[in-house]
Amino acid sequence: MVLLLFSCHFNPGRENDFEYTHGAITRANPGLKEIALVFTGDEFADGAEWITSVLSQQSIKASFFFTGRFYRNPAFESAIQTLVNDGHYLGAHSDEHLLYCDWDQRDSLLVTKQAFITDLENNYREMKRFGIDKQDARYFLPPYEWYNDAIAAWTSELTLQLINHTPGTLSHADYTEPDMPNYRSSKEILDSILAFERSNENGLNGFILLIHVGTSPMRTDKFYQYLDPLLALLKSKSYSFKRIDALLEI
């Protein structure tokens, strides 16, 4: 498989430590009590200051994946620069937050290969303005956290590595609004994380835990406000937190 060959190119044998879903790494070594906190952003950044403060107080480095639209937004420049200065990982999340494939028929692509490449290159061009070089940001988290094997292969051909959040919790549902049928409250989300940690044989080992850096004003119950006690609890259980590049090291 092309993706595995790419992984071997960087660190032979490490791909066997990971779990994959449709060609993307979705979990690191489940034998190690290590977690990568991953934040994504496109339209909203209301949690940036809160999240940055919590991470600083907890002495944790996290990973942030933003769209080109996010990087271009003048209102977000200060927050982005703070993340860069604080030593967090900043990566790509597509330029225009494209939907790559059909929700019901995952194998049905909604973008051409050239459209995918052009959009992703535009994302990296915006990142360059903040001193983020492509070779230092080779992990790519797809928009909507939705993709298929073709997207994974195209990503690999660009010498990038596709990743996604680890399934099993509701952390990625923190964007939902009260009028949505899939709405989940922050307490439900928190409970799902803690329940998984208690019930799964390997807990949250190797987890890529995804949270949004901001959400619509229609959602007033912000999950990022639960971040401080969640991190403190997990640290008390001997989990350590790593940037995505340190967690995967490929």
List, for residues 103-155, the tens digit of each pLDDT value: 999 999 999 999 999 999 999 999 999 999 999 999 999 999 999 999 999 99
Residues near 239 by beta carbon (within 8 Å), at least 6 away in sequence: 33, 34, 35, 203, 204
Look at the block and give the residue holding tokens 């195209």.
Answer: 154
List, for residues 61-74, the tens digit of each pLDDT value: 999 999 999 999 99
Low-confidence ranges of the chain (pLDDT < 70): 1-16, 250
